[in-house]
Structure 1
């Protein structure tokens, strides 16, 4: 090759396209295995070593937000960890919208990181290469939009003809291939009766014998002991989803949850029935249309007004967890007595408690911890000198590791010289280079750990000075606030976690305050 890559660390990025996945289903070789072979051969021809391979999950989406390996790669590129990134084609890096493509292009440009493909090496700070790179991303995006539009039109057409447009059959049905084209549904012998039972319990002719969605989920879990398709517990949301699904009445729906692009990503909000498209399906219904319409009517009557989006009603939201199952502890209103907290995971044995008792106990626990923490601080006479000695030892360790890293960098340069002088073959160079890369990786990891310890030690020393006045501030003004969002901000400033546990005794048992709390202060 005419182009000589500069020395340094190189990595590879692998991502499957939709076309690759379809080809694999038809019997083609695994895409990652084939692309690995291509990029390793490319590295050999350039005389470089691939130090790390980022493998994106095949289910990743078009947006960077849905691609964790790309997020990690961009973070590492931004930190100048790589001299170049090997990829089978530049389009694999970004096929999302213009904003995502701009993020990729700017990250590589500002870090001066090369993009190495079998066809071309792109230098992001070379105007010609930058133009080729951006044009490749543009064409990739255009191809992606055309493909997506074609697939969506095909799925819409399938729904209009009564075929099932989804990839996964709803509970109660199995998906099967039609003789001509497309898919339809057939009742699942084990699941279909459960769907019919749910509708029967919810729409019972005698209102006194009807079960709500919460009672139905408990009936399935505790009495019938029937798991869901994923072998988990039934919850209210699952039962609600079944009762609202027109598929069971013999219809197929389209555009009920369209993808909506927002600044922070893509969401799929549920639309009202009047806003989606509904067509007569080719499959057999499990219930009558009258039963389905009655279920919708009852759901509308029994529904509650949801809280405004984004409004916080629980100051402990995101902090408090169940001590038995690890699930979320939520705050529930009670107009007759007091608000209460409980674990919402079905089957959990944690017992509910009044919210105001839990809140008071948290404040008491913080006060007790603060008193002990202040006493520990006052009794530690040698904290300052010991902290300084520990910090000096860490800094000396970091200096030694950085010296070793520089030595290995010099040895790597010597390897390149030996390769250029043909004293080493490519195979010998790759072998020796890989050995040095492993040693360098260990040293880099040691440097990273030491830097983390230095940072942690600095935060710890800082926290010991700042945490006392911060907790005192929270305890002094918390009760004066009425806004749950402000209370939550205060709690998050001093606590990282609250664990709630109560084995017995409900809210009317005389054991209302017999619960346990574990508080984890927000300090290193």
Structure 2
């Protein structure tokens, strides 16, 4: 091999593909042991110093941010820790989406890190190698998509045959292996009776004994029955069990597919006509008549969703719980007495934050905003020039002073260099040089301190003028027009324009002893950013 690699330290990267894992399951040799021998032979062939090997866990995900060893490798590559990285094939580095492939390609290119494989050496400074490397990643992506489509088709076929494809069984069942390929479910001896109890209490023919989802959750928690994840029961958990057709022997697929965004993942519910739902291989826990009755009760008692985009609470997404951090929501009074005020309450079930009347919280928020604005105005506008012209003059004076000080600092640094030249030419004796250096050093320190002080004063003046021109008038406008509009959405936008958030906390109740207004609000106004 005539190719000469750069001198320095090299690392290796190992990652198992799905094909490798399937091959090992059939009894073939461990992939990492075989690939490690290949990398060591590569290092010997090129006479390079291989000092570290990154080994990815077999359960690593499709994206690079789901592969911790790959993230460590990229960080070290960007820090130019390695002259090169050895891999069995470039596809092992990235075969996810084009964004991940671009991140990998850019990291190796800008750090000038060589990629060494048994088939080819990729020099990041060589345009042909760069193009070949990117083409290899592209083909890897195509192959990955083909494999994904094949696996997805296999999953759909498995559902149609009645197999259970979830990695975790639903509450009430255990996951068991089928002879050959796939899994099914069998009733869990301890959990299945709890599922039957939930359906029984929710569909009881006696209205006096029937429990709603909130009371069911409280009942199960009082009995110290834990969920699948050993946590407390919530309304959402009970709803999930009551709506899941797995308990009448059916399996479904595609009801809540994973959707990946730039920085998040979610599982929104799809319309029922887009699901795949068939009879499963597992035995039912609930009979179909009882399940249908539960669906009927849920549809009759369910709350209709609010129209998309409509806001009825002016404090929506602004006020947060001061205990758990969740949203504080508006609960309109639905009883016979329509004059009872609406309340604000934490959206987290069993949170100890006590609710308060909405109008009291709104009034306190606006009053607190007025008090804060008064203090803010005194801080920035008290004893200040009254005209914009004077403000501009003040800024110009600070800017001119800063420029003069910076010029002086430059001159002092030049004097320091000249002192070194003079002592080298023996114009200065060592004693004179040291004395002169001490004087210059003191002047540099004083000038640097003066620059810092002037920059601080200039920053303060910028903030003062920004507050005077933007922040203060904006808050004054909101306080002026807030009560003159009846549109909740407009009020909400007004408050969002001046507030980052507001936290609400109330530890004790007291409707009848004057305790309804015994709560605490903490306001976080939107302030001008650093200039």
**Normalising by the residue count of structure 1, what TM-score does the alignment of the two structures yield?**
0.69
Select 2:515's aligned residue among 502, 511, 518: 511
State the SS of the aligned residue for 1:197: helix
Aligned equivalents of 1:489 and 1:350: distance in 2? 26
Equivalent residue for 1:178? Answer: 178
Distance 1:159 1:355, change over 3 A: same
Aligned equivalents of 2:475 and 2:240: distance in 1? 43
Equivalent residue for 2:232? Answer: 233
Aligned residues: 456
Equivalent residue for 1:499? Answer: 503
Residue 497 of structure 1 and its aligned partner are, at CA, apart by 4.5
Q: How does 1:397-416 map to 2 (within 5 A)?
A: none
Is 1:288 equivalent to 2:290 in the alignment?
Answer: no
Equivalent residue for 2:372? Answer: 369
State the SS of the aligned residue for 1:209: coil
Residue 245 of structure 1 and its aligned partner are, at CA, apart by 0.7
Residue 352 of structure 1 and its aligned partner are, at CA, apart by 1.1
Equivalent residue for 2:391? Answer: none
**Normalising by the residue count of structure 2, what TM-score does the alignment of the two structures yield?**
0.68
Distance 1:81 1:517, change over 3 A: farther
Residue 489 of structure 1 and its aligned partner are, at CA, apart by 5.8
Distance 1:521 1:266, change over 3 A: closer
State the SS of the aligned residue for 1:517: strand
Is 1:307 equivalent to 2:306 in the alignment?
Answer: yes
Equivalent residue for 2:128? Answer: 128
Select between 281-290 and 464-473 the one with higher mean Cα deviation. 464-473
Residue 124 of structure 1 and its aligned partner are, at CA, apart by 4.8
Is 1:224 equivalent to 2:223 in the alignment?
Answer: yes
Distance 1:315 1:208, change over 3 A: same
Maintained 8 Å contact 1:330/1:342: yes
Maintained 8 Å contact 1:352/1:502: yes
Aligned equivalents of 1:13 and 1:75: distance in 2? 13
Equivalent residue for 2:357? Answer: 354
State the SS of the aligned residue for 2:94: coil
Aligned equivalents of 1:366 and 1:69: distance in 2? 49
Distance 1:87 1:500, change over 3 A: farther
Equivalent residue for 1:423? Answer: none
Residue 468 of structure 1 and its aligned partner are, at CA, apart by 6.1
Distance 1:5 1:215, change over 3 A: farther
Q: How does 1:9-24 map to 2 (within 5 A)?
A: 17-19=17-19
State the SS of the aligned residue for 1:518: strand
Q: Provide Cα deviations, 1:335-364, integer angstroms capped at 9, x if missing partner.
A: 644443222223221111233332332333
Select between 480-489 and 116-125 the one with higher mean Cα deviation. 480-489
Equivalent residue for 1:143? Answer: 143
Maintained 8 Å contact 1:112/1:125: no
Equivalent residue for 1:442? Answer: none
Distance 1:511 1:73, change over 3 A: farther
State the SS of the aligned residue for 2:293: helix
Residue 76 of structure 1 and its aligned partner are, at CA, apart by 9.5
State the SS of the aligned residue for 1:138: helix
Is 1:271 equivalent to 2:270 in the alignment?
Answer: yes
Q: How does 1:463-478 map to 2 (within 5 A)?
A: 463=463, 466-467=466-467, 470-478=470-478
Maintained 8 Å contact 1:497/1:520: yes
Select between 8-17 and 130-139 the one with higher mean Cα deviation. 8-17
Q: How does 1:424-439 map to 2 (within 5 A)?
A: none
Is 1:343 equivalent to 2:346 in the alignment?
Answer: yes
* Structure with larger RCO (C-alpha < 8 A, sep 6+): 1
Q: Provide Cα deviations, 1:418-440, integer angstroms capped at 9, x if missing partner.
A: xxxxxxxxxxxxxxxxxxxxxxx
Aligned equivalents of 2:260 and 2:231: distance in 1? 31
Equivalent residue for 2:436? Answer: none
Residue 91 of structure 1 and its aligned partner are, at CA, apart by 2.2
Distance 1:173 1:124, change over 3 A: same
State the SS of the aligned residue for 1:207: coil
Aligned equivalents of 1:318 and 1:93: distance in 2? 42
Maintained 8 Å contact 2:10/2:86: no
Aligned equivalents of 2:458 and 2:290: distance in 1? 62
State the SS of the aligned residue for 2:181: coil
State the SS of the aligned residue for 1:146: helix
Distance 1:474 1:259, change over 3 A: same
Aligned equivalents of 1:201 and 1:471: distance in 2? 56
Aligned equivalents of 1:115 and 1:156: distance in 2? 42
Distance 1:11 1:496, change over 3 A: farther
Is 1:116 equivalent to 2:121 in the alignment?
Answer: no
Equivalent residue for 2:209? Answer: 209
Equivalent residue for 1:189? Answer: 189
Maintained 8 Å contact 1:65/1:265: no
Distance 1:225 1:263, change over 3 A: closer
Aligned equivalents of 1:327 and 1:36: distance in 2? 53
Residue 228 of structure 1 and its aligned partner are, at CA, apart by 1.4
Select between 81-90 and 494-503 the one with higher mean Cα deviation. 81-90
Residue 286 of structure 1 and its aligned partner are, at CA, apart by 0.9
State the SS of the aligned residue for 2:242: helix
Equivalent residue for 1:200? Answer: 200
Distance 1:137 1:346, change over 3 A: same
Residue 182 of structure 1 and its aligned partner are, at CA, apart by 1.6
